[in-house]
Structure 1
Amino acid sequence: MMILSGDPPRSRVLSILLVAIIAALAVAPLLFPGAKAMNVATKICIFAALVASYDLLLGYTGSVSFAHTMFYGIGSYGIAIALYSMGPTWTAVATGLALALPLAALLALGIGLFSLRVEAIFFAMITLAVASAFLVLASQLSWLTGGEDGRSFQLPELLRPGTILIPKDWFGFAINGRTLTYYIVFAACAAMILGLLRVVNSPFGRVLQAIRENRFRAEALGYRTVFHLTYANCLAALVAASAGALNALWLRYAGPDTSLSFSIMLDILLMVVIGGMGTMYGAIVGAAIFILAQNYLQALMSVASEAAANAGLPLLPGLLHPDRWLLWLGLLFIASVYFFPTGIVGRLRAGRIKPSGSVH
């Protein structure tokens, strides 16, 4: 990442954490072949790219957009509708991408040109209105999107779980179409994150940060702020739509709950804040921590509750009951925001600086 972007993690602990996350994701299908573990690993990959694209807006330009799930949904529905209508072929996959990505970019361009000239709060409200309208539209156009039921579809034969690419006898584990789909998702998400890292560390990215710090000063220096903000909005939309397409390929389904729900937007915001705004590395850390907690905190609490009950400790078994996992998840996020106001990545990077200003 440092070689390609020129932006090192600047923290030994952060470097180790990133290496551990990426290495675990790289070997997840081989070490954790179960369905749940594979789903969790895939979701981390997809949301890392999705959160990174949103960080380009929120962390590097200061623009608060609520339309990011709309672009994510466009990518999902583009793949789903194409494969549902044309059948499980690679031509359908290419057609879905060829329709979804330009549509997402054009919508982002329109939103940017018409709303990025106004104050930040009005931009946020406009994006919220557009995203809500798109959600209603997707739910109502049953003939196209499947309505509330969404669209299920089949994948090309090469990506199906029943397609064995490498038999189990060779390495002790079988490589099938599902494994290949995972590595397509992993490689595509890694490429998108690396591309965004390169963008934010380019002269264009420096201008975005200048606009975030003081838009009027950037305009006084001669930068066309609306152009830069609109371009960043289009770029973020393309990455979000690509992440949505990958999500649809993995789930073999696209629907309002999995692609356009406002709860997805809230999850993205939480991941950005937890990982650290304006860092890009925070997208990987935030997505990994959030999704792991979302999927395994309840199981850990069940073990802790049983251990407390066996030890005869009062109150703790009830407080740690797995039914209360959402409460503890919320408390963990409040604590992370309180103790890491700049996010985990920001805190780890700041930890390298001593109070006197010298570096460890």
Structure 2
Amino acid sequence: MIRTLLSGDMPRSVPLALILGVILVCLALAPFLFPGVRTVDTAARICIFIVLVASYDLLLGYGGIVSFAHTMFFGIGAYGVALASTHLGRGFDSIAIGAIAGAGVAALLALVIGLFSLRVRAIFFAMITLAVASAVAVLVSQLSGLTGGEDGLTFKTPRELGPAFKFGKEAFDGQLFGVKLNGKLLAYYFVFIGALVLFLGLLRVVNSPFGRVLQAIRENDFRAEAIGYKVVYYRVAATCLSAAAAALAGALYAVWLRYVGPDTSLSMEIMIDILLMVVIGGMGTMYGAVVGATLFVLAQNYLQNLMGAASELTSALPLLPDLLNADRWLLWLGVLFILSVYFFPTGIVGRLRNSG
């Protein structure tokens, strides 16, 4: 059963299997294991970024395609849900229409970019995607009448996903293990289940014949072309699939935040974060997206607090409290990234699989 769900792609390492199991259990039971607004928000972001990073790894790790337009597709999905919910009402049908429309637009745009650009060298394709993504970000900021401009759009999700919605009053007195049974809990599981389904779908894609051909093209595109595979078609198809998956991740993000804006869904900082997560977790391994996204999001949310506590504990020592000052958390995040690349050149998952 598990092998079928994972499309035959087993962890192949006991430590990796344990790490993935712990992450899955923690995310599945996050509202009950770690009650609190911030911790549940962190868990939801991890779920969403796992899908986003996995969709990018389909391009970079499996297809060998470097793109800087991934946040553009992510943003298209987010804005699709926001616009549909704003103009069609606060129903699940609006979310579905917005998500499907966003994924369709993202795939179509990826198709256009791919057909015109994937025949050129990799670095030129990367530059073209960067230019298109920058242009779209500027366009979204300027079309304030439609997108809300720099202020973004705040919208209403279905009542069942809002904190005011209560359920289970008769059976559980409105609480389960001390956790309030409300719409926010349902919203978290909406995100968790959606992310799980998307991740398993991407895992199926990379372990299908299509995924194996994509890896063969990555290793030697001339040889793949020589034995009869249309390299450009496979790369364009991978770009479209990756864009659609990123857009659906953006749709989940919009549902969770109930807000979209250029900074939350189209920022170049998000693109850099995605690259870091892929490298930390391990390129060409879907499980790398799980490990990389989890570690990175946790570091983003809690490293500053940990450094603040460490600075206080070492206050009697010379120099160390200044180095561990909470304001320098980005510096130490960079140091951790450099160390991870140095000690895990194939990513954490690659290293664990090789050692296992």
Question: Which TM-score tier does this pair reach, normalised by the shorter chain?
Answer: over 0.9
Match of 1:337 in 2: 341
Deviations 1:55-98 (A, max 9, x none): 00000011000111111000000011111222212232232123
Give the corresponding residue for 1:146: 148
Q: What is the identity, as a one-letter code, of the residue corresponding to 2:321?
A: P
Question: Identity of aligned pairs, percent?
Answer: 64
Deviation at 1:315, TM superposition (A): 1.8
**1:357 alignment counterpart:** none
* Equivalent residue number for residue 125 of structure 2: 123
Q: Residues 239-276 of structure 1: CA distance to partner in whole angstroms, max 9, x if unpaired?
A: 10000000000000010000100000000000000000
Q: Counterparts of 1:17 and 1:325 in 2: how far apart (Å)?
A: 25
Question: 5 Å matches for 1:49-128?
Answer: 49-128=51-130
Which residue of the partner structure matches residue 317 of structure 1? 321
Shift of 1:146: 0.4
Tell me which residue corresponds to 2:197: 191
Unaligned runs of at least 5 residues, structure 2: none
TM-score norm. by structure 1 comes to 0.95
Secondary structure in 2 matching 1:59:
helix
Return structure 1 stretches of 4+ with deviation > 3 angstroms.
Answer: none
Gaps of 5+ in 1: 353-360
Q: CA deviation at 1:30?
A: 1.4
Instruction: Give the conservation status (yes or no) of the 8 Å contact 1:2–1:9.
Output: no
Find the residue that maps to 2:203 and give its secondary structure.
helix
CA displacement at 1:33 relative to structure 2:
2.3
Aligned residues: 350
Q: Report the counterpart of residue 48 of structure 2 in structure 1.
A: 46
1:223 to partner: Cα distance: 0.4
1:306 Cα shift? 1.2
Distance 1:95 1:202, change over 3 A: closer
Give the counterpart letter for 2:3 in structure 1.
M
For residues 319 and 176 of structure 1, what CA distance do their matches in structure 2 show? 43
Query: Is it true that 1:244 corresponds to 2:245 in the alignment?
Result: no
Contact kept, 8 Å, 1:153 with 1:252, in 2: the verdict is yes
RMSD of equivalent CA atoms: 1.1
Could you tell me the TM-score, scaled by structure 2's length?
A: 0.96
> Is residue 31–residue 179 contact of structure 2 (8 Å, CA) maintained in 1?
no
In the TM superposition, residue 206 of structure 1 has moved relative to its aligned partner by: 0.7
